[in-house]
Amino acid sequence: MIAWAESIADRLEALRERIAAAADRAGRPAHGVEVVAVTKGHPGEALSAVAAAGLTCVGENRVGEAEAKEERLGHLGLCWHMIGHLQRNKVERALAVFDELESLDSERLAEKLQRELVAVGRDGFPVLVQVNTSGEASKGGFEASESAEAVRTIEAVRRVCELPALRVRGLMTMAPLTGDASVVRATFRRARELFERCGREVDGFEPEVLSMGMSNDFEIAVEEGSTRLRLGTALVGERP
């Protein structure tokens, strides 16, 4: 675990240099970009190693896997982010483990969250609305690759922001898996534009977090305005 923490710290240092260079190219400060360590698929020790390396947020994409890790190791003083599709029948369990949901991908899920939060007397649960700005059907989230879809998505974000137990802190998106950097860049740019429009047009939307960028595309994401990277492979290592 110590060795793992050291290699995470080393990789983080190298990644931070690349993040800083990308931020510099875009004329923005590198401290405006936070890093979530994606520990999904790794054993629980990965979370301990992430904590020991000085990082504070982890991303998991399965409720059962996160529950098992937390049961064994505790919360480790980390902020646990759900980054995968959340089934409505697992909302109650997810709320017991996760501190933030980055992948709010439907209004029905938002409404279910609202009901469960009221039931347990919780309020201000942080969520990001997941948007699909790539046009790829395989990616989840509210469709927003075309301008008519973007308008509908903004209306959906508005309704989500009306749910009082949720605190909508921003948007999350994923780029398509492609070697074509211009397609990735266009996807991120559309997400950024949508983020800014939501900030201007939607009451209750807090434009704090634009979560985009993974191991393969984080530099483009930083250049296009990401405020949060979700880094698995490049930071924690190859998933077994």
Ligand X SMILES: *Cc1c(COP(=O)(O)O)cnc(C)c1O
Name the minimum Å distance from CB 239 to ligand X.
7
Pairwise CA distance, residues 32 & 202, whole Å: 23
Residue nearest to ligand X (CB): 232
Name the minimum Å distance from CB 140 to ligand X.
9
- C-alpha dist (Å) from residue 81 to 60, 75, 168, 202: 6, 12, 14, 24
Which CB, 157 or 174, lies closer to ligand X? 174
Name the minimum Å distance from CB 100 to ligand X.
13
- Taking alpha carbons only, the member of 152, 131, 129, 101 closest to residue 205 is 129
Measured on CA atoms in the order 146, 148, 149, 151, is the torsion positive or negative?
A: positive
Residue/partner pairs of 9-15 with CB below 8 Å, 24 or more apart? 9/53, 9/54, 11/234, 11/235, 12/53, 12/54, 12/55, 12/235, 15/218, 15/231, 15/234, 15/235
Which CB, 165 or 213, lies closer to ligand X? 213
Which CB, 41 or 207, lies closer to ligand X? 41
If DSSP codes are grouped into helix, strand and coil, which group holds residue 100?
strand
Which CB, 15 or 165, lies closer to ligand X? 15
Which CB, 42 or 112, lies closer to ligand X? 42
Measured on CA atoms in the order 166, 94, 36, 181, is the torsion positive or negative?
A: negative
- Token pair of 167 as six digits: 């605190």
Name the minimum Å distance from CB 119 to ligand X.
27
Name the minimum Å distance from CB 39 to ligand X.
10
Name the minimum Å distance from CB 40 to ligand X.
6
Q: Where do contacts with ligand X occur on this chain (CB under 6 A)?
A: 38, 40, 61, 83-84, 174, 214-216, 230-234
Name the minimum Å distance from CB 211 to ligand X.
8
Residue 108, number of CB atoms within 10 A of its CB: 9
Which CB, 225 or 232, lies closer to ligand X? 232
Which CB, 165 or 212, lies closer to ligand X? 212
Residues 6+ away with beta carbon under 8 Å from 167: 124, 125, 126, 127, 206
